[in-house]
Structure 1
Amino acid sequence: MNTLTLEPLTRAAFEPFGDVIELDGAQHFPINGGTTERFHDLARVDVGPDTGGRPLINVFRGQPRAQPVEISMMERHPFGSQAFLPLGVLSYLVVVAPAGEFDASKLRAFFTRGWQGVNYARGVWHHPLIVLDVAADFIVVDRGGKEANCEETYLSASLRLVEGDLVYSSAA
């Protein structure tokens, strides 16, 4: 049985897929007469080529997944990035694969620390929001426009979260 081990979410590990949004190590400086600290340029918002797209700010309320977590599909956004910023301190899982033709052998899984957000780069395959314990709200920044900006693919074998690892299991 093939396994995909959860990794801690770090900027270096996630760099091929987008940005980790966190304050640790971020460029920052005081503004507004020293009354505010600005943490600058934490993610690259991409609304794609000039096709009339615009940035959207949304709130997504993720519901906890039944345990063990079954992963049978992935999605991507071909016209823009998509950022998730938790509105509370909670851990959630992130499963990704590189942009381009989907390749299940290149899947990676990350366990977030409660304050980290992620920004999926345009075209990066990712699993929809995986909240574990309680319902949780996220600010989501993505692209709005006339074009359909979500493509889905289904795995030939589902992934199952088992005691800290994602394990391939038959789809039966």
Structure 2
Amino acid sequence: MKILQVERLTRAAFAPFGDVIELDGARHFPINGGTTERYHDLARVDVTEQGGRPLINLFRAQPRALPVEIAMMERHPLGSQAFIPLQAGRYLVVVAPAGEFDPTALRAFWTDAWQGVNYAKGVWHHPLLALDRISDFVVVDRGGDVPNCDELQLEASVQLAFEAGVEVLA
């Protein structure tokens, strides 16, 4: 079984796969007479191909036990898919570039408490990997009449490994 090292999720590291949704470093300004701070344009929602429309969903992820083994991946070729956590809690993100699936290009990330992700159109990713508790996410993705999910089983499973000193459970 192949071992895949899990990295800390940062905007720079995740840029080839989409957007990290977080307040740190985001453009922001006061609105509503100074009573609200607006964090603006946090992710590129891309869902209109072939008549698609934006959907807002709630996903409830069950916690996964460590060690985590990756045996499948999925992608949405017609639209982006954003995951925004509703409470502080770490989860894992496993991705590979858009296009023909390349198992040697897999990357894995652990998130800080309030980070969300927006997978760009066609990026391969594993379904939600909540760690320490049942976790709710607002999910913004594509709705429409054309199917928009490809799944594949990996030829060989991949086990996620963490650097020494990384505590993945909150």
Per the TM superposition, whether the score is higher than 0.5 is yes
The TM-score normalised by the length of structure 2 is 0.92
Identity %: 72
Shift of 1:159: 1.3
Q: Kindly tell me: are residues 83 and 130 of structure 1, through their superposed partners in 2, closer, same or farther at Cα, counting changes over 3 Å? A: same
Decide whether the 8 Å contact of 2:83 with 2:137 is kept in 1.
yes
Equivalent-residue separation in structure 2 for 1:154 and 1:23 (angstroms) = 35
1:11 aligns with 2:11: yes
Show the counterpart of 2:81. 82
Show the counterpart of 2:168. none
Show the counterpart of 1:31. 31
Show the counterpart of 2:129. 130
Secondary structure class of the residue paired with 1:154: strand
Shift of 1:2: 4.2
Decide whether the 8 Å contact of 2:5 with 2:160 is kept in 1.
no
Equivalent-residue separation in structure 2 for 1:96 and 1:48 (angstroms) = 23
Secondary structure class of the residue paired with 2:16: helix
Q: 1:6-155 maps to which residues of 2 (within 5 A)?
A: 6-49=6-49, 51-155=50-154
RMSD: 1.2
Equivalent-residue separation in structure 1 for 2:102 and 2:79 (angstroms) = 20
The CA deviation string for residues 27-79 of structure 1, in whole angstroms up to 9 with x for no partner, is: 00011111110000000000142x22100000000001133212100000011
1:158 aligns with 2:164: no
Decide whether the 8 Å contact of 2:2 with 2:158 is kept in 1.
no
Specify the code of the residue in structure 2 equivalent to 1:12. A
Specify the code of the residue in structure 2 equivalent to 1:13. A
Decide whether the 8 Å contact of 2:2 with 2:159 is kept in 1.
no
Equivalent-residue separation in structure 2 for 1:3 and 1:66 (angstroms) = 17
Equivalent-residue separation in structure 2 for 1:2 and 1:145 (angstroms) = 37
Decide whether the 8 Å contact of 2:80 with 2:120 is kept in 1.
yes
Aligned residues: 163
Equivalent-residue separation in structure 1 for 2:145 and 2:77 (angstroms) = 13
The CA deviation string for residues 62-104 of structure 1, in whole angstroms up to 9 with x for no partner, is: 0011332121000000110000000000000000000000000
The TM-score normalised by the length of structure 1 is 0.91
Decide whether the 8 Å contact of 2:8 with 2:109 is kept in 1.
yes
Equivalent-residue separation in structure 1 for 2:118 and 2:51 (angstroms) = 21
